Every structure is written in C-alpha cells, then in structure tokens.
Chain A
Amino acid sequence: MSQPPVLLRDGAVAVGGRPILRHIDLRVDAGEFVALMGANGSGKSTLVRALVGIRPLTAGRLQLFGTDLGRFHDWSRIGFVPQRGGAGSGVPASVWEVVASGRLTRRRLLRPMSRHDRTVVADALEVVGLADRARDGVSNLSGGQQQRVLIARALAGEPELFFLDEPTAGVDLPNQDALAGALDVLKQRGATIVLVAHELGPLAPLVDRSVVMRSGRIAYDGAPLGDQAVHDPLFGGMLDGMHSHHHVDHMHRSPHDVTPPMNAPLDRQPHEEGHR
C-alpha cells in the first residue's frame, strides 16, 4: 500500500464565497496519528470536513488512498466521527442501533445483518466500553458517552482511516481517558487517525505528528506539540526544526503570515492571547 491515505495539494475551501482555507498541503501516511490543532475559527474542522467530502474544495486536489475524491467510492475504508450534535433526532434510537448504522458501508442493500456484522458491532461497543449500555437510548447517555457511541459507529465499519472532529470537546477527564483507551486500540490495530482537537489532554501520548492551523492556513506541521506550544507564535521554538522537515516548502511561502487579514472582528487573534 504505497499510496498515502490522505494527500491534499494546495487545497482551498470557501463557504458562501468567503475563503476559509487556502494553500493547504497535507499528506497523512498509513498508520500515522495526526492531531489537527488550532484556535476556534482557525479552520481545522472545515479542513476535516473537506477531507471527507462534506465541504467541496474550491481549489486543489484531494486524493484518498490514491484516488481522486470525485472518483472515490471505497467509503468503507473511511470512518468519520462528527462533532457531537446538540439536538439529536426526534425519534428514540438505542446505542446498538446507532452503532449498527456504522455497518452500512459494508452491508448490501436489503440484506439483514449477518452474524459477522453483529460480532463487529459488539466488538466496537466493547472497545469504547459501552457494551453494557447497548440497549439504552442514546439520549439517556452523558455527552462523553455519546461521543464514544459515535466512535463505535465509525469503528463498526472497520475502516483503515479515521477522521475525528473534536472528540474531546466538552468531555470530562474520565471520559477522555476512555476515549484515549479506545483510540489506542485503534492505533495498535494499525489504523490511520486524523484527529481535530483544541487540546490533547490524555490523547497526547498517542500523537505522532501535530498540524497547527491558523486563520485557514497550516502554520506548523511537525513533531507533536504540547497544548501550550500550539498557541505560541513560535511554537515554543519548534519552528527552528521545521527547516529540515519535508513540508518546508509551504513554510517559505508564508513564513510570517500567521495573522492574515481574514479574521472576523470577533475572531481571537492567536498571537494576542496570553500564554504561559
């Protein structure tokens, strides 16, 4: 498998005509655990949504497993964990049903679930530690548990490449630990993981590489950063090491442009916030 799971060249995304992401080059190799970090509004969630095809690219070329997105149909290789929705649906759904819907990528139309499907769903619930809550309604679970349900749903499709959009947001520490445990299992199994996060917390030991977004551009791509260093204009001195890194070319293109004039008035300027 020589093709990288994710290869984006000079990607750009505009929402309603307003450019959100520009000049994004991102390559994720098989088995990597990449943390996509940055402040609110820096575009990290938009990038993940572009990578899974929910947000169309306005420029650039995206390849998943070596296939252009437009011709990519192998969705069972991809597991997407969206941000936890606030409202939920109007009809009750059990934990098992939501997780089982993750099996759809591998099921044929109008066929009942096979014994293997059920085993995989049970295994996914086991990995996130919710096997005993399978029959409960999703809406009765806490936020952290609901987040784990969404991870189990992605897991049920047995994908090779995971995209997780802020799985730790609003989740307490015990649940973050449970989450880290589940992601560790995935990593051991050889999955490629792209994770969006504000702060890594208990996930930090799992990360192989940090990518930091600022104002819609990649400002740093390299060795894992601590939660504080992400908001440091100079990334805690890690930028010096960037010159030996293979993503060095786009760093030269925008060496100091960490705050281009694209911020809305309410956006926080990353360099203005205090960091200790």
Chain B
Amino acid sequence: MTAAELFALPFMQRALIAAVFTGLAAPVVGTYLVQRRLSLLGDGLGHVAVTGVALGLLTGTSPTWTAVVVALIGAVLVEVIRERGHTNGDVALALLFYGGLAGGVLVTGLGGQSASTLQSYLFGSITTISVSDVVATMVLAAVVVLLGLGLSPQLFAVAQDHEYARVAGLNVRFYNMLVAVLAAVSVTVAMRTVGLLLVSALMVVPVATSQQVARSFRVTLAAAMGLGLFASVGGLVVSAFASFHARVAPGPSIVLLALACYVVTWPMGAWLRRRARLRAPFADHVPDSADPDEHDISEQHTHDHGPDCGHVAVPHGDHVDYLHDGHRHAPHGRHYDEH
C-alpha cells in the first residue's frame, strides 16, 4: 500500500485531523504548567479522567464528555486545595492520581465492560476515532489554543510572578483556574490520541525540548507547538507504515518520537548554554587603578589576537578580552594585559 492509498482511508484522515489538533493544543497548556512547575498536573488530571471515561461507559453516554466534566471537577479541586494549603499541593495531586485511576477501574468493572474498552482510552486509539469524536477534539482543541494564545500576556504574567500580577490588578485566582481548566480540556482532547496515561507527555515533553534552545517565552511556546505537531503527526504516520510489519500503537510512537526530539536537542541545548556562558560580556568594571604600572602583562605571547585567532572574543567594557588557555588577554599597546 502506498502513502497515497493509506491517507485516502477515511479512518486515517480522521486520525490525522485529531493528531494535528491535539499536537497543537496540548503544548500550549503544557507551557503554562511547566512555567508554574506543575508539569505533573496533566498526568494527575489524566488519571482523574479515567473515572470520567468509566462513568461514560457505565451510563452509556459519550465518554469524551463525561471525561471532560470529571477532569474539570478534578482541576478545580486541585486548584482549590493548592490555594488553601500551600504545602499539600503535591499530596493533593497524588490523592487525585490514585483515586481517579482506582475509581475508573472499579466503575468499569461495575459496568461489566471489558478492560480492553477502557484500555483504548488509557493508551489511545486514534485510528478508531469516530466522526463525532473528531469534531469534539477539533472544537475543544480550538478553544484551548485560542484562549491559551489570546490570553498569553495575562497567563504569562500570572505564572511568572503571581504577586506582581495581583498588584497589576489581574484576577490571579481566575487565571490559575483557567489554566487548570484548560489542562483538563486538553487532557480529554489528547485522550484519544495518546491515551490518558500518556497525555502529560504530549503536554510537557515538547516544552522541555523547546526550552533547551529558546531564550524567550514566545519562542518556547511557538516551538513547543511545532514540536507537538511534528511528534503527533509523525508518530501517527510512523506507526501507520510500521503496522504493515508489526503491531505498532500510535499513542506510544507519538510519545517516543517527542522524547526522541528531546534527546536530540539536549546536546544542542548544552552546547548553546556553554557558548552563551563563554561569550557573556564580562562585567563592565575595568580595573580602574590609575597606576599604569600596576597592570598585569601577559608573558610569552607569540601571536596577535584578532577576529581569526581562534580564541573566543568576549566584550569587556570598552574593549574585547580574548580567552586564551583560561586567561583573559586584553590588547594594550604592543602587549596583552591579564584581565
């Protein structure tokens, strides 16, 4: 089967649409979660949503919408607990983790559903997604992206420094709640793509990858969206082609591809950080000992420092120092000073 034939299949087209929307939406919320050091909130809400899915299966309503409702309740609960007791934030998260997962498995059993039904939500089953689920995914993802990008100045300020944001007149509680709610929504959006147990990966891993190389928030956010899109579509396509030879689930391939991006950028980030440190200008405090005899002249210098000498040139006040074997050489007349 060729690529054209593969993408002509209706289920594959639905899967691609879902992958595009999920890949774009999840990292938007993920960026704010990482910024607030709540990377695992998505994971916790994913566990809570398991109960929602099970309730949907039990009552015969759409599991997507029951998952949205239950995840929203969970998000509000986490936020309230976090606000009330500062120290118990992660304990609250843990309670929700286990309560959600245990509740989901229990309710599924009560409903007489087989574990495999639940499993399609736990690990995703993007290729069996129905038209109505695609529509729900598109709508919810669009809401997440629009709110996450449209309110980005406010959300950035609140996550960066909530006390300052409060004095700036922002309703900090509202924006905190909004992020939690958006996280809950993206959890259910990504549920069919990568599954509830891997949801957090698609929210957090692209952000972790992009912040390796970015220096600003906007670049981090944009790159995370790009990476999320690449990983979710790429993972889907890879698993589709690989499925001719072996059973390859799309959800895990998407997550593993996202992680592979992280592994690839990590050395690059390390190199960039090292380079930035090396080239950062020295504090512009030039030793102002007026006594010209007091400066420290570098001994035995055999070449001239310049643009092509191979030594790193670092701005230092009104001149340039060259990094030479752990020394800082500043040109001075015919010799070099040690700085």
Interface residues of A (CB under 8 A from B): 49, 52-54, 73, 75-76, 78, 80, 82, 85, 89-94, 96-98, 100-102, 104-105, 107, 109-110, 135-137, 140, 142, 150, 153, 157, 163, 174
Contacts and interface: CB of A to CB of B under 8 A. Distances in A.
Given A92-B211, A109-B151, A137 B216 contact: yes
B207 A91 contact: yes
Interface stretch (B119-127, B157-165, B255-263, B301-309): B157-165
Contact of B216 (A85, A97, A174): A97
Given A82-B164, A157-B168, A91 B34 contact: yes
Nearest to B217: A93
Contact of A104 (B34, B163, B170): B170
Nearest to B273: A140
Given A94-B217, A97-B216, A89 B159 contact: yes
Interface residues of B, number: 35
Contacts of B35: 89-91
B160 A54 contact: no
B136 interface: no
Given A85-B161, A140-B276, A153-B164, 5 more contacts: A78-B167, A80-B167, A91-B31, A101-B153, A109-B151
A58 to B, nearest CB: 19
Given A101-B156, A157-B168, A92 B216 contact: yes
Given A85-B161, A110-B150, A90 B156 contact: no
Closest 3 CB pairs of A and B: A75-B169, A94-B216, A80-B167
Contacts of A110: 150-151
B167 A53 contact: yes
Most chain A beta carbons < 10 A, residue from B165, B169, B276: B169
12 contacts: A54-B167, A75-B168, A89-B159, A90-B35, A90-B36, A100-B153, A101-B157, A104-B165, A110-B151, A137-B215, A157-B168, A174-B285
Contacts of A157: 168
B158 to A, nearest CB: 9
What DSSP secondary structure best describes chain B's contact surface? Answer: helix
A70 to B, nearest CB: 14
Contacts of B153: 100-101, 104, 107
Most chain A beta carbons < 10 A, residue from B164, B165, B170: B164
A75 B283 CA distance: 36
A135 B215 CA distance: 8
A110 B37 CA distance: 25
Contacts of B214: 92
Contacts of A140: 215, 276, 280
A107 B154 CA distance: 10
Contacts of A89: 35-37, 159-160
B145 to A, nearest CB: 14
A105 B169 CA distance: 7
Contact of A97 (B156, B165, B276): B156
Contact of B169 (A76, A150, A174): A76
B335 interface: no
Contacts of A75: 167-169
A151 to B, nearest CB: 12
B167 A90 contact: no
Contacts of A153: 164
A94 B221 CA distance: 13
Contacts of A150: 164
Interface in B27-41: 31, 34-37, 39
B173 interface: no
Contacts of B193: none
A91 B167 CA distance: 22
Given A91-B220, A110-B150, A54 B168 contact: no
Nearest to A79: B167
Interface in B260-296: 276, 280, 283, 285
B166 interface: yes
A93 B164 contact: no
B327 interface: no
Contacts of B36: 89-90
Given A89-B36, A92-B211, A105 B216 contact: no
Given A52-B167, A135-B216, A90 B39 contact: yes
A227 to B, nearest CB: 24
A98 B154 CA distance: 12
Contacts of B220: 91-92
Contacts of B319: none
B218 interface: yes
A92 B276 contact: no
B217 A82 contact: no
B178 to A, nearest CB: 12
